[in-house]
C-alpha cells in the first residue's frame, strides 16, 4: 500500500436546508457554532460567521428548502472540529424539460 502525506483534510458537508432554516439567530452575535451529527454517531462542530448563516437563510427563503443545496466546508481538525469553516447555500439548477421526440 502506498502512503501519501497531506497538510490537511478538506471536508465538504451537505446539510439539510430545512434543518438550517429552523435555526434562530441571536442579533449581534458575530459567530455561530454548529453541531453536525454524523450517521456513525460522531458530532462534528464548526464555528462560522453569523453573516454566512443569514445569507444562506435568505437563499433558502427565496428558493425554498427543496430548491437549495447547503454546503459547509473547512479543514477537519483533531477532535472532530471543522476549522476555517464556511457556509454557502446555492440554488439548485432547474431540471431541463423533457424534449418531445
Q: What angle do CA 48, 53, 59 make, to 5 degrees?
A: 145
Q: How much is the pLDDT for 75?
A: 97
Euclidean distance between CA atoms 94 and 80, whole angstroms: 35
Q: Which of the pair, 21 or 97, is modelled with greater confidence?
A: 21
Query: Is the predicted pLDDT of residue 35 greater than 80, yes or no?
Result: yes
pLDDT per position as a tens digit, 64-86? 999 999 999 999 999 999 999 99
The C-alpha cell that represents 34 in the structure block: 454548529
Ordered by start, the domain boundaries in the chain are 9-84
Summary mean pLDDT of the chain: 92
The C-alpha cell that represents 79 in the structure block: 477532535
Amino acid at each position: 500500500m502506498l502512503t501519501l502525506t497531506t497538510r490537511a483534510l478538506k471536508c465538504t458537508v451537505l446539510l439539510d436546508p430545512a434543518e438550517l432554516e429552523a435555526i434562530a439567530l441571536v442579533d449581534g452575535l458575530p459567530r455561530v457554532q454548529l453541531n453536525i451529527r454524523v450517521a456513525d454517531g460522531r458530532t462534528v462542530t464548526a464555528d462560522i460567521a453569523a453573516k454566512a448563516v443569514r445569507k444562506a437563510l435568505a437563499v433558502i427563503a427565496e428558493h425554498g428548502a427543496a430548491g437549495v443545496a447547503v454546503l459547509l466546508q473547512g479543514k477537519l481538525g483533531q477532535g472532530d472540529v471543522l476549522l476555517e469553516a464556511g457556509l454557502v447555500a446555492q440554488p439548485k439548477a432547474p431540471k431541463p424539460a423533457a424534449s418531445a421526440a
